Chain A
């Protein structure tokens, strides 16, 4: 049976009218409390229950460490949940915390996250998820033992909202064997890097000096080039200016090398890249974890070939700077009923030489890093000791690039990479890229200044 149209129309009209009447009651702005951080106020813990169980969320790489802690501290009750750690652009922790905030329970006492950007949302809101660890949770002497600037991404205002697990400073990876075979010298400036890239394209076509199709290309190249693409200037205010000469110089450099053929538009983890180009990497600026994760485990480059050089510098600049790609952090929940045990676990995970020295990534805690770098040398994988390059790069991360609620990687990968593969140049895409960052930042409540 057809429902007579005449009967539906008045009902719909009444509904629409009542909705419009309701429109006057309140504003549709997103939660006004979300933007305001309680930076000034002191942290008030929830009621503590000594000896209560710790709920720990960690990724598969970090779980053995938590288990080792459990073994060493059998009196602490721990429940471990393995989750993605938000690797590869996942957003699981935030997703779940948003839901726990609504339901009022379920927060993990301790959570690991591979993406230090997470601190931006975890330190915001009426009741932020992350507890400020500097307010009586972890000793200042411990916090002072971290590499210079390692805790900078965790620091919001006066407070430190997370503890850095590992560093991901960008160095210049190179294949020593190929350099020797070809008779090249490892560059120390970006100008030399470009000249060598153009030279190898002519002399040994097919060999590569870098990739521009990785989601973290902005961090590897543009952060190191001191491009002001992500400078947080205040609560929820960010400066983005890709037309700055410090951005265009890097775009021009990459465009020339892409045109020459020695910089790939692919990402290093694409199966096509691994199959066809893994053995043709002459050099590649990249984070410290490239050594084991990329060259050793993914590319299967043989022992004794790969080495690391300190970050490159532009001739016009006074000093060399570098970027940073990731570096995990540990959060302690502000909702935890056992902050003491949570703090002890996090301290152990980040500073214990026993555990950190054998980790896959470069520890952020100085003492552990020294032991770790020695361990790297002992593996015999690298052609030369990587410690000098790593240590130098760790202190040269350009401080003008801040953590934001949005991921530069997601924006670059979805806006710039497809267009590069469509044959456009980076220089011509800077405008589109700028707009994409502005849109994303604005949608998350930032004010964007040029």
Chain B
């Protein structure tokens, strides 16, 4: 709506209304786009999965039957074990390295930091699948530019590089490389939010860099770290692209049901059993929500200062 078409008096009234409610209706319009997508691709599919997971192919309700049936599957525990192993390594690495790199970037290298922030962010700008493909080349000693490094570990063929024990670490490396850059930039922004006077006061009190980081910066970053953990946990439990692509590229050397999401995929598309698949997906939702709840209440993520 352009200003010129609105009569002056009405314009003045609207201006008054806008002051009373500065967010105005525009706020709803901005949120609407997201809300529609969230509904169509988030809420409705989740509700549909919930319905599928408690019913069977004849549309009868079966309670927890689908859950107990998938729990008894021979792939269930190994898949959760794999994902748990991966999550432990990935979350710890992510938390430690992201916070460390962000603080170093913020404190020590003001001149180079903007260039470095860009470099960190760059891999994240690549689409996920493309990044994994890049790693497939990096991990093959015959094709990799860092093949000498792999061979130094005694891994002279792709089969030895992707041995089952190495997988959680390999997927962590891939996930860190593709996803951590964005978090470093966010943490950097969060560090900028810490009032300069607080750091100044600590410094006057004689705190060194390490003490400032441990006693001032990290505690003030707590909510941001919690936020990162929740999202990284959710994406981590849904691990799919990495094992699926590495498996294809290695001529199937990784089991097709390595992660929980893959087992769910096999249920739906190999066995044609969408109800079992939905039960596994709901398992992930429940685990994700439970862990998010723990993190939210422990860190007071939603508390207002």
B-binding residues in A (CB < 8 A)? 1-2, 19-34, 88-91, 94-95, 98, 101-102, 121, 125, 213-215, 265-267, 269-272, 274-276, 405-406, 409-410, 413-415, 417-418, 421-422, 439, 442-445
Contacts and interface: CB of A to CB of B under 8 A. Distances in A.
Per CB-CB distance, the 10 closest pairs between chain A and chain B, nearest first, are A23-B63, A28-B65, A26-B60, A413-B252, A272-B142, A414-B255, A31-B57, A95-B269, A421-B159, A271-B142
Nearest to B269: A95
Interface string B81-103: 00000000000000000000000
A422 B164 CA distance: 10
A201 B64 CA distance: 59
Interface stretch (B214-222, B225-233, B272-280): B272-280
Contact of B61 (A26, A270, A276): A26
Contacts of A29: 56, 69
Given A26-B58, A101-B272, A266-B157, 17 more contacts: A2-B297, A19-B63, A19-B64, A22-B54, A25-B61, A26-B65, A28-B62, A30-B57, A33-B57, A34-B272, A121-B272, A269-B251, A270-B159, A272-B140, A272-B156, A410-B256, A414-B252
Contacts of B269: 91, 94-95, 98
Interface of B: 54-58, 60-66, 68-69, 73-75, 140-143, 156-160, 162-164, 247-248, 250-256, 268-276, 297, 300, 302-304
A445 B271 CA distance: 9
Contacts, number: 149
9 contacts: A24-B63, A94-B270, A215-B252, A272-B140, A410-B256, A413-B250, A413-B253, A417-B253, A439-B74
A443 B143 CA distance: 37
A266 B163 CA distance: 13
Contacts of B253: 413-414, 417-418
A115 B283 CA distance: 33
Interface centre among A28, A98, A443 (most CB of B within 10 A): A28
B275 A28 contact: yes
Nearest to B258: A414
A91 B270 CA distance: 8
A90 B248 contact: yes
A95 B265 CA distance: 9
Nearest to A25: B61
Given A26-B58, A418-B163, A443 B271 contact: yes
Contacts of A23: 61-65
Contacts of A27: 56, 60, 62, 65
Contacts of A405: 270
A422 B158 CA distance: 12
A20 B63 contact: yes
